Amino acid sequence: MADQTSTPKQKAGAFDIRVVIAALIGSYGLVLTILGIIADPAEVAKAGGLNINLWGGIAMLVFAALFVLWARLRPIVVPVDEHPRE
């Protein structure tokens, strides 16, 4: 986004907040899923038998995948500067 006036249509490159969100939530999903798989049964019992690390982790991985998909399908297009700067 540094030089947004150079070409009329330009993809925003690395800094798409959706990708950043997906990266963070995806890493959490990965860590939690692994923790869920190797979970100590006593810990699982704490949550009433629900392995929340595993299910939460999987849900976060799915969420991250959807966000990446969204960013891929609708990339940010930086238009020519429509508002003259004050």
Partner 1 sequence: MPAQDSILRLDATAIDYLIIALYFAFVLGIGYLAKRAVSNSLDFFLSGRSLPAWVTGLAFISANLGAIEIMGMSANGAEYGMPTVHYFWVGAIPAMLFLGVVMMPFYYGSKVRSVPEFMLRRFGPPAHLVNAISFAVAQVLIAGVNLFLLATIVNVLLGWPIWVSVIVAAVIVLSYITLGGLSAAIYNEVLQFFVIVAALLPLTIVGLHKVGGWQGLTEKVTGSPGGGEQLSAWPGNALSGFSSNFLSVIGIVFGLGFVLSFGYWTTNFVEVQRAMASKNMSAARRTPIIGSFPKMFVPFIVIVPGMIAAVLVPELADFKANGSGEVDYNDALLLLMRDLLPNGMLGLAITGLLASFMAGMAANLSSFNTVVSYDLIERYVIKDRPDEFYLRTGRWVTVVGTVIAIGTAAIASGYSNLMDYLQQLFSFFNAPLFATFILGMFWKRMTATAGWVGLVSGTATAVLVFILSENGVIDLPGQGASFVGAGAAFVVDIVVSVLVSLATAPKRDEELVGLVYSLTPKEQRTEVTVRGDHGWYRRPVLLAGISLAMTIALNIVFG
Binding residues for partner 1, per CB under 8 A? 1-2, 14-15, 17, 20-21, 23-25, 27-28, 31-32, 35-36, 39, 43-44, 46-50, 52-53, 56-57, 60, 76-77, 79, 82-83, 85-86
- Nearest approach, Cβ of 78 to partner 1 (angstroms)? 8
- Nearest approach, Cβ of 81 to partner 1 (angstroms)? 9
Six token digits for residue 14: 């690395």
Burial 30-63, CB ≥16 within 10 A → b, else e: eebbebbeeeeeeebeeeeeebbbbebbeebbeb
- Nearest approach, Cβ of 14 to partner 1 (angstroms)? 7
- If one counts every other C-beta atom within 10 angstroms of the C-beta of residue 67, the result is 20
